[in-house]
Amino acid sequence: MERKWWHGKTAYQIYPKSFKDSNGDGIGDLRGVIEKLDYLKELGIGIVWLSPIYQSPLADQGYDISDYYRIDPRFGDMNDMDELIREAKKRDIGIVMDLVVNHCSDEHEWFRKACENPDGKYGKYFYIQDWHEGEKLPCNWRSYFGGPVWSKLPGHEDKIYLHVFHKKQPDLNWENPEVRREIYSMINWWLEKGLAGFRIDAIINIKKALPFHDYPADRDDGLCDIDNMLEEARGVTDFLDEMARECFDKYNAFTAGEVFNEKESELPRFIGENGCFSTMFDFNEAILGQDKKGWYAHKKITPDEYKKACFESQKKTENVGFLCNIIENHDEPRGVSRYLPEGVLDGPYAIQAKKLLGGLNFMLRGLPFLYQGQEIGMENTRCESINQIDDISARDQYQVALNAGLSPEEAIKIINLYSRDNARTPFQWDDNLNAGFTSGTPWLPVNKNYKNINLKAERDDPDSVWNFYRDLIQLRKNPKYQETIVYGKTEPYLINQKNLMAYFRRGLNQNQDGAKQDILILGNFQDQEQDIILPGAIIQNILLNNYHDYHIKNGVLHAKPWQFMILELI
Ligand code: TEU
Ligand code: CA
């Protein structure tokens, strides 16, 4: 595999609105990110992805862009952006921005011009169709945020436009070469400014299965999950290869695709040696237990299901390329709340369990991609009423739960499990007012647990989750182990042992001592002890342990509850 500059890095996603507020308006901003660059350097981060900070009405928190060439004044200005790129580079940190081009905002100039003249140039930038009251819609796809994907074109009683997300996010028509040219020149404009690359938003949606047509309804609203269309659509990689040729390849840019519903046969074209992306996110664990009926029908997954999903992803990409390994992001609940069994976070092993989950994911083959707050073990928040929820996706799912017969009390419990707000509460810097995030009123309330979970408390505690992540990142950077950790093959170990997630990282080359280097990662994923028969190899080093001690006798590790260890074997 050709070695790339980003392979040995650790990446970090910042949701700027909730990261650090520098001017007391309660909204995180670019100057707040600049203030924290030394923190990110201290943590050992090499790549930072910023969720959108472009001009936007924030209907979908910035994933609805009204000007791709301007920074939204709430987040700062272009001087701040240029300073951030410059200062990050001084710290050997590459800045990656969010590329949101399946759709723009309905307040974008292109859409405004399309409304003025639907039959003109800009009308062709979108999917606009004639339609008359009472007529059947061109297709019965359900928006990701609920309801039909068609809405009336503002100012026109006899026209509708497509939006697979919110109605304030009209889909751009990628079949139109003029649209693609506009997007490519915007991408290159940003890359010229020194960006290290892009995370590419919802990109599988840019290729529709045309002409528009229905699929069987899956709820009594007569609509169907848009996955039906994605399953049928062909040719998305033609657009993506063109984008890579016209943009990314010219700048050796790092690109991470947000790809759901990929076809396994497409993987090499996505992340292979000549793929259109450098890498893409592993969502195999995030989609586990999901039900198309809605969040209310989602199932909590078990440790063994989590393990199986991780190893499946490792297997299908081991000879193709690298995935980005995550336990959470700005769209998902906090990983420790989602993947650890009920009650663990309120029990005596919460810290060990958070470290176990983090370590098991971090040490997988691929690019570890931390989400802001994950490194201090931030947890889901709790709301008593839907009125306290900002997330448009959660608000839709609340209604879906009520329609399915749940009471408001039952429905809000579901929302608390999966709302995207869980990941969007302000970063907990310290135990001062508003967790040190803002001197003003935070746009979203700080999680009530900030007095116990905050960076200040954890930085000085050698046994904290934060120091554990820092040790993981240092280990990945350690020249003695980097070859094995970055490129070594993942080989599951004792795969059938319940509540045990264990795997080798098989060294590809000999280490400095001339011996084949193998690393064994062990996680006792339960509240009880369990015995783990160790492989016959000799333990050269205990590289990491989430306890101060361990008990190995006659080749058996008597693992404590939630014990996580990394062993160097020869
Ligand atoms: O999300 C794309 C997406 O399809 C899933 O994340 C999910 O369906 C969505 O979050 C609804 O729950 C990307 C961004 O990550 C997300 O924040 C945006 O809302 C979405 O695209 C539209 O730009
Ligand atoms: Ca601010």
- Cα(21) to ligand 2 centroid in Å equals 4
- Cα(260) to ligand 1 centroid in Å equals 10
Q: Residue 248 has what DSSP assignment?
A: I
Residue 107: CB atoms within 10 A of its CB come to: 16
The 3-state DSSP class for residue 306 equals helix
The 3-state DSSP class for residue 503 equals strand
Residue 336: C-alpha distances to residues 115, 351, 459 (Å): 45, 10, 19
Q: Residue 197 has what DSSP assignment?
A: E
For residue 536, the model assigns a pLDDT of 86
Establish whether 384 is a catalytic residue: no
Atom of ligand 1 nearest to the CA of 64: 23
Q: Which of 54, 141, 165 to mutate to test the pocket of ligand 1 (most atoms within 8 A of CB)?
A: 165
Torsion angle of C-alpha atoms 298, 301, 306, 309, degrees rounded to 10 = -40
Establish whether 201 is a catalytic residue: yes
Global pTM?
Answer: 0.98
Q: Which of 13, 144, 287 to mutate to test the pocket of ligand 1 (most atoms within 8 A of CB)?
A: 144
Long-range contacts of 78-81 (CB under 8 A, 24+ apart): 80/29, 80/30, 80/31, 80/34, 81/30, 81/53, 81/193
Question: Which residue of the set 201, 285, 375, 568 is catalytic?
Answer: 201
pLDDT tens for each residue of the chain, 570 residues long = 889 999 999 999 999 999 999 999 999 999 999 999 999 999 999 999 999 999 999 999 999 999 999 999 999 999 999 999 999 999 999 999 999 999 999 999 999 999 999 999 999 999 999 999 999 999 999 999 999 999 999 999 999 999 999 999 999 999 999 999 999 999 999 999 999 999 999 999 999 999 999 999 999 999 999 999 999 999 999 999 999 999 999 999 999 999 998 888 889 999 999 999 999 999 999 999 999 999 999 999 999 999 999 999 999 999 999 999 999 999 999 999 999 999 999 999 999 999 999 999 999 999 999 999 999 999 999 999 999 999 999 999 999 999 999 999 999 999 999 999 999 999 999 999 999 999 999 999 999 999 999 999 999 999 999 999 999 999 999 999 999 999 999 999 999 999 999 999 998 766 556 667 899 999 999 999 999 999 987 888 999 999 999 999 999 999 999 999 999 998
Residue 120 tokens read as: 């003109």
For residue 417, the model assigns a pLDDT of 98
- Sequence-ordered alpha helix ranges (H) in 438-514: 455-459, 465-477, 482-487
Q: Residue 463 has what DSSP assignment?
A: T
CA nearest neighbour of 562 among 506, 521, 524: 524
- Cα(526) to ligand 2 centroid in Å equals 42
CA nearest neighbour of 344 among 506, 528, 178: 528
